Structure 1
């Protein structure tokens, strides 16, 4: 396995995911290799791809592909390597699949989530829903997915929240998938609200608690302060964010959710 990975040219990593033909630069830079794109991509799971790319960036590119389009100078990392490394290191689970849900690439986050077997799982080389009924929904979703992509909400097995899947069609009859859970365990991330609105640390904490649905009394108990202090923070938040109600306050920060 390791020997095969070393022979794959870095520029072919994205090509394999896109279903394009693979060029064997080691044997003949102008000849098409005998291995099919699927065979190569299946031999390079997401974790290995990420590790390989990181090693190439640290050690330098032995294939001499350092120069990118519009960029001069040997030794600069190839843009395809950087793009795939970026996706591989993303906290969001990301996969590349074919219409039959064969996994051709996945990042480390997706690998971890599929091991949890909550809503979706990996069985061999296939992405599968843990529910037989929902697996049919997943396949049908890809079939009707247009050029602009789409989303699918699968009800959680514990009947709390959904598994939200987003698909983007790719060249070569492939799909890029990402997903997240929308139940109680979901915790939205925000930009630096403290810097954006010149808030104090306490005001920022109260604001995030309000966004999580807690009342002033509940926030006070959670923070170990008086309700009067919490209400004072909320009043200050209204002034700094230029709003007059809790609803407007939450609407104001919605655009800052990452």
Structure 2
């Protein structure tokens, strides 16, 4: 595109290109400096390059969490690129505006912008970005068939583009394939991303994000060893210590001046999920609280909802029903107007149980019923509803120190299958739940039986005649 557009002036075009490259590499501060220099070098009559600078400025504001300024700059890009027939900037500006609206919880506005970008793309490969953006939205709305078609076509169009959008799209499509029962296709997509990661030893901001996306996917699949591998490379804290500290990535995100706000919040969310998977509940809650504050400060309500969901899961794990329901209620209030589905469903069975409690308390009743339907759970039959029943039923706590807290019915089921020698994957298949959910139950069982390994937990369960 740059070679096809004259008018860059004495070096202005080259500096504009450098500014764009720095932005795409995650170097926002360097990009800002280059963008200002480019404006000083560019002739007044240089619409393409000035549109590029406006786009870079909007992207940098977006990454910095300065949404109002980002919106102004991106609309300026649209105003200058549309009349000039500038396909690249017309598409990119709309896609980044759509991303901004998604972060702020305005999914329907994002859908409209992606559809406009697709029209503007005129069948050029850059339209793949708009297709993948639409695919993400339809995935969240739980229209898996449509999401899969959009993501597949989008990936085909941008196959030669930079790693980050390709990897994001491939991992989301892998989720779709798994959910639709095509494990082989999902495995091929996972392998595609792993090959791309293996080719990059240097941990740039972009490749750290790639690692974190891969980690989050592994957590969703219940593959904790793979998640740990990518978390370590990405610089997250080692979760295996009794009192985890902040990893390099989190220290940079929280304390550093060089980490853009958008990257910092993604790191915090990833760290919260990683700690949660390892049962470090206080640390996960701290990361979620920090994320929630940052998200609300810049109006990014979708991120705030994700933070509240983590807080709900932490409280659920700690048997704090009131806090869990309050946190989930705040997330529901944010997500209900745009009908987000997989925002909750992808969080596993714990959220389904909490949603059932919300339904009994008449919190967002219609929306919660829809979410439970997506889980395949549906409302509880009227005969089983008991408002005075505690969060978990199960075996009462013993007084001999072998068990520190009552086990839930589901935990007893998992424990009995553990005693039969079944793996986490086999337990998941038997109970019809995610492997990640099984791992959460196993962590809870270890805690409640004061055990550190399976054999110890099973031995104590036999002593207590639980199995």
TM-score (norm 1): 0.31
Higher helix share: 2
